[in-house]
A and B are shown apart, each in its own frame.
Chain A
Amino acid sequence: DTEVTQTPKHLVMGMTNKKSLKCEQHMGHRAMYWYKQKAKKPPELMFVYSYEKLSINESVPSRFSPECPNSSLLNLHLHALQPEDSALYLCASSQEVGRGPTNYGYTFGSGTRLTVV
């Protein structure tokens, strides 16, 4: 299995709703990432998990709350979002860090298209 699977593919939520995005990989990757991508823009890093521990938080508002229950799963919990948070949310994973030169197997999922109304 060489894929990163994201669910749901599309999500529409109100500003008072609570929802979660899910990401799963079975490649044995120990680093997992959340990126946000607006239309016609490059992906922007939000969070990095390394060995199930949050290692990077790129000053993301607290209405986004990541969780890594185990080495294969990554969640992004959403609460009280704003319409400007509407975007494509991408999950990615890569091989263990600090292991020397590799191609890192950096793989993106197809994303969740989020619309906040």
Chain B
Amino acid sequence: QQQVKQSPQSLIVQKGGISIINCAYENTAFDYFPWYQQFPGKGPALLIAIRPDVSEKKEGRFTISFNKSAKQFSLHIMDSQPGDSATYFCAAGRNSNSGYALNFGKGTSLLVTP
């Protein structure tokens, strides 16, 4: 069962535009919501992460918006650049004594056109 649902599956944005990717989750025990960027042949790289006690977090051109009541969170990429073209995964995790396994969304393939 997919614990984190991500949309859209693919996205094309013009250079300078805003890229928006959305995720939703069901398990209210999740307490950590990271976004990862992955280029072909590379491992996922942490972009930005948020905890549920915060509604928004901004780092440079990347912003996470978090809606706890709706169990949704989104990634906004401002002033999108061709170098941002990659696959983006949202994830949700819950700390436990057994470790901190992440549940990933299915990914969004972003293409930023010149």
How far is A109 from B107 in the complex, measured between Cα atoms in Å?
18
Does B18 reach chain A (CB closer than 8 Å)? no
Contacts of A45 in B (CB 8 A): 101-102
Does B15 reach chain A (CB closer than 8 Å)? no
Does B55 reach chain A (CB closer than 8 Å)? no
Task: From B34, B106, B109, give the contact of A106 (CB < 8 A).
Answer: B34
Contact code string A20-64 (vs B, CB < 8 Å = 1, else 0): 000000000001010000001111010011100001100000000
Contact code string B22-65 (vs A, CB < 8 Å = 1, else 0): 00000000011010100001111110010100000000000000
Contacts of B45 in A (CB 8 A): 108
Are the CB atoms of A90 and B99 closer together than 8 Å?
no
Chain A interface size, under 10 / 10 to 19 / 20 to 34 / 35 or more:
20 to 34
Contacts of A33 in B (CB 8 A): 99, 101
Contacts of A104 in B (CB 8 A): 32, 93, 95, 100
Contacts of B32 in A (CB 8 A): 103-104, 106
How far is A4 from B43 in the complex, measured between Cα atoms in Å?
10
Are the CB atoms of B100 and A106 closer together than 8 Å?
yes
How far is A109 from B101 in the complex, measured between Cα atoms in Å?
15
How far is A48 from B95 in the complex, measured between Cα atoms in Å?
12
How far is A110 from B45 in the complex, measured between Cα atoms in Å?
9
Q: How many residues of B contact A (CB 8 A)?
A: 28
Instruction: Report whether over half of chain A's contact residues are helix, strand or loop; otherwise say mixed.
Output: strand
Contacts of A6 in B (CB 8 A): 43
With A41-B106, A101-B51 given, is the CB distance from A90 to B97 under 8 Å?
no
Are the CB atoms of A42 and B99 closer together than 8 Å?
no
Task: From A56, A94, A109, give the contact of B98 (CB < 8 A).
Answer: A56
Are the CB atoms of A50 and B102 closer together than 8 Å?
no
Name 15 interchain pairs, CB-CB below 8 A, sorted by A.
Answer: A4-B43, A31-B100, A33-B101, A40-B107, A42-B105, A42-B106, A43-B44, A45-B101, A50-B98, A90-B43, A97-B95, A97-B98, A101-B31, A103-B49, A106-B102
